[in-house]
Structure 1
Amino acid sequence: MTGLTRRQWLLAAASASAGTLASPWLGRGAFAADKPVVAALFCGHIDDHGFMQAGYQGLEKAQDSLPIVARYKDKVANETRAQIAALRELATTHQPVLIIAHGGQNTEAALTVAKDFPDIRFVVTQGAVTAGNLSSYDVRQEESAWLAGAYAALMTRTGIVAHQSGIRVPPGLRARASYAAGVRHANPDVRLLTNFSGNQDDKALAARVTRAQAKAGADIIYTMLNKGRDGTTQACRELGIKEIGNVTDWVAREPDVFIGSAWADVGIGVFQACQDLSNGHFKAGRIFKVGLGQPEAVRLIMTPDTPEPIRRRIAALREEILNGTIQVEADYTGPEFQL
């Protein structure tokens, strides 16, 4: 136990059932007992190169730059009972002052648990829900998804584009609706194939959906998956078709497949909640929104060889969204692509 008190060891042991970011007291001397604890829930893997990893990086940034101690739990099923159990575990194990449930799929669970812990503040990222001790922090990924739809419609050679996602959660549904609206606005003659497979992380399933959509004529697929995205990307590579990513810069990561990426740094919601807590600006019962007006958070990334007329068209459409001429749609009523 050299260098650590018995209390520090007990605190570390208490964290065994949930993930722990590199704590500030490891290698830095005394444990900062006076720092508030922020706990976060990730329904998935924090190394998925997508939504969950972006949220985790926001928490990591908060611990590195703010006077907080961060704790987390990941690999939790996208199912309300599992989410409720995980949130209760975070609330009772770590004595946090703030719990962040990353993703709108946690809405029902967060509302349930927040009622039982009125002295803890709760946040749902990519949510639109409030309560007496609960706020939402929403990075409007649907705005970059709308531009991705327009871009796909302008770039397709076959006249057929596709969309893939896993579970039907509010942020994913809004982004799909926006993507579809962008396609329709840019070229109403382009056909859209849209599919929710039911699983964000199944690579084999994602590859199967990709092959089916390509067989139906799609040459560009907008993918909103987590670990399952690798299955789509490999299938696109084998089939010689293109992909548009989301959340992060997939054009830089895999330029042979990705022609665009609907950048939406959802980790900003996690970080902003921690920062608001730290500087005393946190307010319960509000929805905090970030969109295209903050390009460091939301924008469309395009491959460098995008034709200049298409770049100009996308820039003009962005301005129309910002000035309200284009209203980004949140509902989709069109057909679903079935395997």
Structure 2
Amino acid sequence: MSSSVHRSFVSRRQWMASAVAVPSLLALTACAGRAGISGAAAPASPLVVGGLFAGSRSDKGFMEAGWRGLEKARQELGVQTRFLDGMAPRKELLEPALTQLAEQGAQLVIAHGGQNNQAAAEVAARFPRIQFVVTQGAVQGANLCSYDVLQEESAYLAGVLAALTTQTGVVGHMSGIRVPPGLKGRAAYAAGVRDTDARVKLLTNFSGDQDDNALSHRIARAQMAAGADVIFTMLNSGRDGVTQACRETGARQIGNVIDWTTVDPQVFVASAWADVGIGAFLAVKDMQERGTPGPGIRRIGLSDPAAVRLTLGQGVAAGVRERVARASAAIASGQLKVPEHYEGQEFSA
């Protein structure tokens, strides 16, 4: 049995353990209805929310951020939550997982990550009475919407910083699977580098795996051997392999999703903060307040610095900080449009 399959089974046990209260909840609702006939007020049942995290919810990155958004909703908004995690981000696994969440009592199903776009669209069509949300998604429908935290905007700022701080004139970018948020993030980073200093060379790679540390270490060392002294990583658990390579060579890294400068200030010069978990929280809040999330595709960017910004390490010079701040203001005001497509060469290790 593969580790991903094992984690999926563990998550299903977690689902069943957390779902024990559902039958009793239904029974209480029925009793409340009967009491209401005799004049007693029926208490409102808490919203039941299901979450799908195709990866490890403890990856110190994208999946963990999404799970924390769901946890925040449970703690602050008083909803009941269920979740499945641990499966690979493949449609043939995502679709039955979303179906399971819908069939086992969730009134709102949140699929974390744009890799769920197609599976969520198909499953939502089969369950028209249930609301579906894809965080970092690009789909919408009668009972389907997306919450898109524009991490590409902070990725552009990462490119600005990389171009201003490289000593070799070569910078790197590393990601795993080719999903829309990752592709847009790469395009934005490349544009930030180019717009800041067109002489700087960019090495960019999608390895096909967000979590393989041996693979990411090998690619990072290859980029460093080709001259990269600053690498922007859009990885999950596989970021650790790049961090190890940075320690071995003295190269610096720019992280994403969380503030990595506080986690490892010796390695991380900055981090393209993007609270991708806020989409899950806002979807639940909107569902509670209006009876439906969305609608359409809700976008959250640098105009909300609590959600998106570039955090800088203590050693970043004042002049560099000013350049980054100017670019951030231009994006937030709409003066600067961040590109979503990259047409340049790719680095192969």
Letter aligned with residue 323 of structure 1: S
Match of 1:77 in 2: 88
**Equivalent of 1:267 in 277, 300, 320:** 277
Q: Is contact 2:11-2:86 (8 Å) kept? A: no
Matched, 1:213 2:208: no
Contact residue 146 and residue 297 of structure 2 kept, 8 A: yes
- In the other structure, the counterpart of 1:5 is none
What residue number does 1:276 align with? 286
- Where does residue 251 of structure 1 map in the other structure? 261
**TM-score under structure 1 normalisation?**
0.91
| Distance across 2 between alignment mates of 1:90 and 1:152 | 42
- Contact kept, 8 Å, 1:54 with 1:267, in 2: the verdict is yes
C-alpha change, 1:331 and 1:104, in structure 2 (3 Å) is: same
**In the alignment, which of 133, 136, 144 is matched to residue 123 of structure 1?**
133
Matched residue SS, 1:124? strand
What amino acid is the match of 1:110?
A
Q: Give unpaired runs (5+ residues) of structure 1.
A: 1-14
Paired amino acid for 1:200: Q
Query: Residue 280 of structure 1: CA displacement?
Result: 2.0
AA of the residue aligned to 2:135: T
1:52 aligns with 2:43: no
Shift of 1:324: 2.2
Q: Given that residues 165 and 223 in structure 1 are in contact (C-alpha distance below 8 angstroms), is that contact kept between their aligned partners in structure 2?
A: yes
Cα displacement (A) at 1:81: 0.8
**Equivalent runs, 1:85-234 vs 2, <5 Å:** 85-92=96-103, 94-234=104-244
Q: Which amino acid aligns with 1:275?
A: K
| Cα deviation, residue 21, structure 1 | 11
Q: Is the 8 A contact 2:149 2:300 kept in 1?
A: yes
Show the counterpart of 1:11: none
- Contact 2:131/2:292, CA 8 A, preserved across alignment: no
**1:135 aligned counterpart, secondary structure:** strand
Tell me which residue corresponds to 2:12. Answer: 17
CA distance in 1, matches of 2:326, 2:14: 44
What letter matches 1:90 in structure 2? L
Give, in whole Å, the separation in 1 of the partners of 2:11 and 2:54: 18
CA contact (8 A) 1:121 1:284 kept: no
Aligned to 1:237: 247
Corresponding residue of 2:334: 324
One-letter code aligned to 1:156 = T
- Cα-Cα RMSD: 1.9
Structure 2 unmatched runs, 5+: 1-9, 30-44
CA distance in 1, matches of 2:193, 2:149: 21
> What's the CA shift for 1:24?
11
1:19 CA displacement:
3.6
Check whether the contact 2:178–2:206 (CA below 8 A) recurs between aligned residues: yes
Partners of 1:190 and 1:21 in 2: how far apart? 53
Cα shift readout 1:5-26 (whole Å, capped 9, x = no counterpart): xxxxxxxxxx972545996999
Q: CA deviation at 1:322?
A: 1.8
Corresponding residue for 2:41? none
Aligned residues, how many?
A: 321
How many percent identity over aligned positions?
51
